[in-house]
A and B are shown apart, each in its own frame.
Chain A
C-alpha cells in the first residue's frame, strides 16, 4: 500500500509541476456553479426548482465531471440522500429512497423508464457516470408523471450533448486494477449535429479488505468486471422543429464473488442492452408537440457452474408517445400525453414468451395565480395494462410564495402504483399471474428559503409520508416454493433538510458548500403472519439517519471536491437485533482537478482519493467495501 501511495503521490506532484509554470496563462474552462438555472425535467413540471411542489436534488455536470470515473451508484451514494445498497466494486448496486425498496424507485433515461420489467429495478453499477450530463433525484415523483414504479420517486438521467464542438479522449487508472478509457465528441454542421459518448472499463477489483468473520486481511477474488458503453446521437433543428435520435449500447461481463464467507464462487453475469430513442418536436400554432419512439433489447444471463444454474433472459420493449403543451394564457399551461408500450420477456425461467401491453393517457396542466405567487399542479393519469387491469393515478401539487423569491411553501398529494414485475407474475415455480399492483398514498410538504447567507444560500425542509398497500412479499407456500403475495403494508415517514451555500473567497475562489440530512422511519404496519414481530421496527437495511456534506472549490485552472457522508446503523433482521446489525460509518472522498490548455488542446488532470479515512465498513452484510483507494485520470479535449 505504501508503494502505491508513493506512486500516486509522484504522479500527482508531476501533474502539479506540469501545470504550475503556466499559471499566468491559465484559462477558465468550467463554467459557474449556479444550480438554480438548471431545467427541472425529473418532475415533468416546467418550472424552476423554487416553484416545484416537491424536493428535487440535482447533481450537475460539474459534480459529475469530478466523479466521472465512478458509476452512478457511487455518485448517488455520495451526492444525494438516496441510500445505495452497494455490494462493493464489481457488485450490484440498487437504491432505496425514503425507506422503500429498489423496485419502488423509477429510473428514467431522457424520460423513458428503464427499470428491468423482469425484476423491476436497475443496477446502478452498470451505469458509468461519464455517460451522463446531469442526474436529478425527485423523491416525491408521482406515478402520474412517468407512470408506475415510482412509489418512492424517480431518478432522471440525462445524456445531453456536449457544450463544445470537438473531440475528447480520456484515460484513468485506479487502485485494484481499475482502468477506464473514454472517447467523447460532437460536431455540428448547418442544422445537423452528431455526438458521441463512450466509456470502456476493465476492473480487476481485487482489493484488500478486513474479513471480520475470520479476523484477517484478505483479497477479493473472482471479481473482474468488463464494461463497454456507447451513446451516439444525431440531431437536426430548423426553426421551431427539432429532431433527435440517440442510441445507447451497453455491455457488461461480471464475475460474481459472493459474500466474503464464500471462497469458491463460480458464478458470473452478462448484461447487454441496446436502447434507441428518437424524439421529434414541433409547433402547430401555439401548441408544442413532442413525439417519441423508443425501442430496447436487453439480455441478462446468469451462470453458476457449481450449482448447475443457467438463466438466460431477453427483454424487448417498444414505446411510443405523443405529448403536447399549450399555453392558454399567462396563468394556464395545458399539458398532456398519450402513450403506448409493448414489452416481452423470453427466459428459461418462464414458460414461453410473456408480454405486456400498456396504454396511458395523462393530463397535467399547470396553473399560476395571485401574481404568480401560487402555482397549482393537478395531474391525472390512466394506465391500462392487458395483464392486471387499469390504474388511475391522481396528483395535486402546490407551491406558494410566502415571500416572493425568498420563501416558498410547497406540497403534494398523490396516489401511486407499482406494476407487478414479470418475475412476480411468471417465475417458474411460484409466479402468480393474478397479482395486483402495489398501491401507495403519498404526501409531502416543505419549505424552501433563499436567504443571503454567505452570498447566496438555499435552505430546504421537507417532510413526507408514504403508505404502501398490497406490497409484494415472497414467502414459502405449502409446496415449499417461494411465491409472491400482495401482503405487505409499509409506512415510511421522515424529514429531509438541506443547506447550500455559494460564495466567493478572495474574488478568485468560487465555493459551493452543500449539506443535507435525512431521517426515515420505515416500518411494517400490518402483521403478515401470526406472531409477526416486525411491526413497528425499522425495515431491514434502512438507516434512520444520514448526513452528508460536500465542498466544491474552483479557482481558474484548479478545482477541488471534498465529500463526506455518515450513515447510521442498519439492521439486517426484522427485530432490530443489535448483534447482527451493521455499524455506522463515515466516508470521506477528495478529488483534485487541474485544467490547462496547450497548443489549442485542453488538458484536464484529475486525481482522487476515496475512503480517505480508511474506514472498514459494509453496506450489505458480508460484502466487503474497499479501504482507501486512488484514481488518476487525464483527459484531452480539442475544440474545433
Chain B
C-alpha cells in the first residue's frame, strides 16, 4: 500500500508542479499615438504587429491591438497606408486588408481576399488599388463594400510597393520596372524600366517620383558570390511627364527605405548593412554618406517633432526597436516595437 501511495504521489506531484498559472494581461486603454510602427512579423507565425508611440507622453505599445482587445494582431504584414482618417493594413496569412480608425485603432472593416495582397494605395472615387503578389496584377477595391470591383490590371511580376501621386498610382515590380496606372481610367499607362529590386516609392520635389532600388547581388555558375557583376542599389528618379527615368543616384549598398523632411529638400536613405545616407533632393547629390552610423530596416521622418526614426530589426523571433534621432543625427530616445519593423505611419491632428 505504501508503495502504491508513492506512485500516486509522484504522479500528482508531476501534474501539479507542471501547472501553468500565467494569465494574459487585461486589455488597456490606447494612448493617443503620434506614430504607428508597422511590423512585418514572422511569416510562419503571422505575428505582425502595429506598435505605437506618443511623442508628448513617451507612452508606447509594442502591439496596440493586443493591448486593446486582449488578443494579438494576426497576420504577416505586407504594408500599410493612411486613407483619410483610416489606417489600412495589408496582410498575408490571412490574406486580408484590415481597416482601422486612425485615432482609436478600432477595427472598422476587413476585406477577405482570395489572393495574396502586397500593398494598397488610394485611387479616388471611393476606391483603392491593391497589388497582388503572385499573379502580376493590381485590382481595385471598393472601400464602401470592401469588394474587388474592376478587372485586373496586369503589371510586372511580383508587384511590390504602390504610391498614389497626382492622379497616378505607381507600382514597383519584380522585373525592374515601375508600372504607372491612370487613376481616372484605372488602366495601365506604361511600365517604366528602373534599377533591379525596386521597392519603396515616394513623391519628391517638382512631382518627380523617387524609386528605391535594392540592387542585384550576383552569383557565378557555381553559386559563389560574384561581386564584380553586382548591380549596386540606388535611387531612380522618374519624370511622370516623360514617363522615364531621368536620374539615377548610385548610392551603393542595399537600400531598404527612404524618408524625406518636411521641406522635401533632404532625403534620408537607410540600408540593410550600411549607414544612413542623406541626399539633397534639389541637386540630387549625396550630402553625407554616413549621416547615421547604423543600418535600419525602415526609416521615417516626423515633421511635427523634426526627428528621424530608424526601425531596427532583431530578427523574426524577437522584438525590434525604433531609435529617434535629431536633425543632426544624434540619437535621443528609443522604444520597443514588434518583429521586423517595415514602415512608419504618422498621425497628424
- List residues 526-555 of chain A with CB under 8 A from any CB of chain B: 529, 531-534, 540, 545, 547, 549
Known: A259-B93, A572-B45, A573-B318. A453 touches B3 (CB 8 A): yes
CB proximity of A178 to chain B, nearest CB, Å = 26
Taken residue by residue from 51 to 74, chain B's Cβ proximity to chain A (1 for < 8 Å, 0 otherwise) reads as 000000000000100100001101
Is A306 among interface residues, defined by CB-CB distance under 8 A? yes
CA distance A180 to B7 in the complex (A): 39
CB proximity of A268 to chain B, nearest CB, Å = 16
The count of residues in chain A whose C-beta lies closer than 8 Å to any C-beta of chain B is 54
B223 touches A426 (CB 8 A): yes
The count of residues in chain B whose C-beta lies closer than 8 Å to any C-beta of chain A is 52
A534 touches B93 (CB 8 A): no
CA distance A261 to B223 in the complex (A): 35
CB proximity of B163 to chain A, nearest CB, Å = 22
Is A640 among interface residues, defined by CB-CB distance under 8 A? no
Which residue of A has the minimal Cβ distance to B11?
A515
Is A308 among interface residues, defined by CB-CB distance under 8 A? yes
A533 touches B94 (CB 8 A): no
Is B206 among interface residues, defined by CB-CB distance under 8 A? no
Partner-contacting stretch, out of A118-126, A221-229, A471-479? A471-479
Select A261's contact among B3, B25, B74, B219, beta carbons within 8 Å. Answer: B74
Q: Which residues of B contact A540 (CB under 8 A)?
A: 317
Which residue of A has the minimal Cβ distance to B339?
A573
Select A351's contact among B44, B47, B222, B315, beta carbons within 8 Å. Answer: B222
Known: A262-B93, A480-B254, A515-B10. A531 touches B223 (CB 8 A): no
CB proximity of A221 to chain B, nearest CB, Å = 14
B317 touches A574 (CB 8 A): yes
CA distance A234 to B75 in the complex (A): 54
A517 touches B72 (CB 8 A): no
* Chain B contact surface mostly: loop
Is B250 among interface residues, defined by CB-CB distance under 8 A? no
* Chain A contact surface mostly: loop
CA distance A479 to B20 in the complex (A): 43
Taken residue by residue from 132 to 157, chain A's Cβ proximity to chain B (1 for < 8 Å, 0 otherwise) reads as 00000000000000000000000000
- List residues 215-267 of chain B with CB under 8 A from any CB of chain A: 217, 219, 221-223, 225, 253-254
Is A579 among interface residues, defined by CB-CB distance under 8 A? yes
CA distance A486 to B75 in the complex (A): 31
B15 touches A308 (CB 8 A): no
CA distance A428 to B223 in the complex (A): 6
Is B86 among interface residues, defined by CB-CB distance under 8 A? no
Which residue of A has the minimal Cβ distance to B115?
A264
Known: A568-B20, A579-B66. A213 touches B74 (CB 8 A): yes
Which residue of B has the minimal Cβ distance to A428?
B223
Known: A480-B214, A549-B11. A261 touches B22 (CB 8 A): no
Q: Which residues of A contact B319 (CB under 8 A)?
A: 533, 575
CA distance A281 to B11 in the complex (A): 46
A-B contact pairs, 15 of them (CB 8 A): A259-B44, A261-B94, A262-B93, A262-B95, A263-B114, A306-B116, A306-B134, A307-B134, A308-B134, A426-B223, A477-B273, A478-B273, A533-B318, A575-B318, A580-B72
Query: What residues of chain B have their CB less than 8 Å away from a CB belonging to chain A?
Result: 3-4, 6-7, 10-11, 14-15, 17-18, 20, 22, 24-25, 44-47, 63, 66, 71-72, 74-75, 92-95, 114-116, 134, 214, 217, 219, 221-223, 225, 253-254, 272-274, 312, 314-315, 317-319, 321, 339
Given A453-B6, A545-B18, A573-B317, 8 more contacts at CB 8 Å?
Answer: A263-B94, A264-B116, A307-B134, A350-B223, A428-B223, A481-B217, A579-B66, A580-B45
